[in-house]
Amino acid sequence: MAEIRFDDGASYERMMGVWSRLAGEIFVDWLAPPMGVRWIDVGCGNGAFTDILVERCAPVDVQGIDPSEGQLAFARSRLAARLAKFRQGDAMALPFPADSFDAAVMALVLVFVPDPAKGVEEMVRVVSPGGTVAAYMWDMLGGGFPLDPVHVEMRAMGLAPPRPSRMDASTMPALQDLWTGAGLEAVETREISVQRTFAHFDEFWKINLEAPSIAPIIATMESADAEALKRRGRTRLHEDAGGRIICDARAHAIKGRRPK
């Protein structure tokens, strides 16, 4: 199955960066981590969540791992890079010895990991006993993904926007199975609901057209079909009296502790 891939960090920031931060700040509040600990941000992408860690958690060390050099290049331009180190790597084979960190996190990543269980096992391996292993992921199967208003209408028109190969890993039961299966203790879950406002529909549409699951398909469509998709997408959105577009998204979050 084709996947949604952002290989350019700047494009991701325009398209998903605001969404990532909205959900990430709620997630960090829920984690309530101690200050001054060692973090690994697995699948750090362009560093959106790493920024939150550096700004709000006073870490002594942060390591960001991602397979995309395009994303990592943007991450290295962020303020977080004054502390965080970013390197290319595989979530299923983290380039660190055991017990290297106090907390490991995957922010909006798990459905892109070919073997989610292996990814969770690697996070457990690199945290010290008593350390935290946590993640949050858009509810891909329950309509929580920010791009769903457009994706749903694309599919209704017979189009096939690419989707992550392991969307099953975004459900709450699947997350619970992964965390308990990895031997983690004190496992807790929660739902994260966020809302984003666009000044008008054209702003919403322009930003969404940058998504790699949408742009290539739009580029091959006849102009009349593209306009039809645009009209259909608008009907799925809430537009207030001032013409602003208000969009909702939802993520599932989980955390657990490595046994001492």
Nearest to 32 by CA among 190, 259, 146: 190
Domain assignment of residue 110, yes or no: yes
**Predicted structure pTM score:** 0.91
Residue 8 pLDDT more than 60?
A: no
Number of domains observed in the structure of the chain: 1
- Asked if residue 65 is part of any domain, the answer here is yes
Q: Considering the domain boundaries, does residue 210 fall inside one?
A: no
Per-residue pLDDT tens digits for 182-204: 999 999 999 999 999 999 999 99
Please indicate, yes or no, if residue 118 is contained in any of the structural domains. yes
CB atoms within 10 A of CB 140: 22
**Residues pairing with 104 in the sheet:** 40, 133
> Tell me, what CATH number does 127's domain have?
3.40.50.150
Q: Is residue 86 part of a domain?
A: yes
pLDDT, one tens digit per residue, over 112-122 is 999 999 999 99
Task: Give the structural domain span for 47.
Answer: 9-139+163-195+251-257
Which pLDDT value is given to residue 14? 59
Domain assignment present for 235: no
Residue entry with tokens 């939150």: 52
Mean pLDDT, residues 59-82 taken together: 92
- pLDDT tens-digit series, residues 154-185: 999 999 998 888 999 999 999 999 999 999 99
How high does pLDDT run on average in the chain? Answer: 92
Cα–Cα distance list, 226 to 8, 79, 126, 229, 235 (Å)? 24, 39, 47, 5, 15
Max mean pLDDT range (47-51, 125-129, 147-151, 233-237): 125-129
pLDDT of residue 248: 95
Residue 229 lies in a domain: no
